[in-house]
Each structure stands twice: as C-alpha cells, then as structure tokens.
Amino acid sequence: MIKNFEEIQQLGKENVDATVKALGAVSRGTQAIALEVADYSKKSFEDGTQAFEKLVGSKSVEKAIEVQQAYLKDAYEGFVAKATKIGELYTDLAKEAYKPFEGYIAKVTPVK
C-alpha cells in the first residue's frame, strides 16, 4: 500500500513539474508573439504615415497612384512575411509546450 502511495506521489510531482515547464514555454512563446505583433503594428503605422505624407505631397494624379500602389505592395509583402513569422512562432510554442509531456503518456497508460 505504501509503495503505491509513493508511486502516486511521484507521479503527481512529475505531473506538476511537466505542467510548470509547459506553462513556462507558453509564457515565453506568447511574449515572443506579442513582441512581433507590436513591432509589426508600429512599423505598419509608420509606413502608413509616410505613405500618406507622400500621397498628400503628390503633384499629380499619376504620382499619387504610383505612391499608393507602392505602399499597397509593400504593405502586402510585409503582412505576408510577418504572418509567416507569427505562424512559425505559434508552431514553436506548441512544440515547446508539448515537450514536457512527451514521455508522460507512456508512463500513465498501462501496457496490455
């Protein structure tokens, strides 16, 4: 009986340790994602402001259209690049959060 209690106690300790490690990985991952989103938002705002200033300063309709097209192209490419980067960060977050539990399922499930 005491041996079973010690095994349950050890299993509980391992569970808590794995959970703490997983939560640490989630915390680091969400911080990295938040930083990327904040950086993108700041850069996007700055680029939009610059494009607006150029657009207002345009002397002709052709120049205004050229400025607008350049801005839209750059904004789209920047968005796609940042979305890809954030997607990779989410993938890394999931992998890192899962790592502490990799061997856990094998320990918990009985072998038939």
Asked whether 100 and 17 are in contact (CB, 8 A), the reply is: yes
In this prediction, residue 15 carries a pLDDT of 81
Are 36 and 85 spatial neighbours (Cβ–Cβ below 8 Å)?
A: yes
Q: Which whole-number Å values give the CA distances from 88 to 7, 70, 72, 83, in the listed order?
A: 39, 27, 24, 9
Cβ(81)–Cβ(47) below 8 Å: no
pLDDT tens for the 112 residues of the chain, in order: 566 778 777 778 888 888 888 899 999 999 999 999 999 999 999 999 999 999 999 999 999 999 999 999 999 999 999 999 999 999 999 999 888 888 766 666 665 5
Nearest to 56 by CA among 46, 45, 47, 67: 67
Q: Could you tell me what percentage of the chain is helix, strand and coil, using 3-state DSSP and rounding each to the nearest 5?
A: 90, 0, 10
Q: What pTM was computed for the model?
A: 0.75
Question: Taking the domains of the chain in order of start, what are their residue ranges?
Answer: 2-100
Q: How is residue 55 written in tokens? A: 């657009």
CA distance 98 to 43: 33
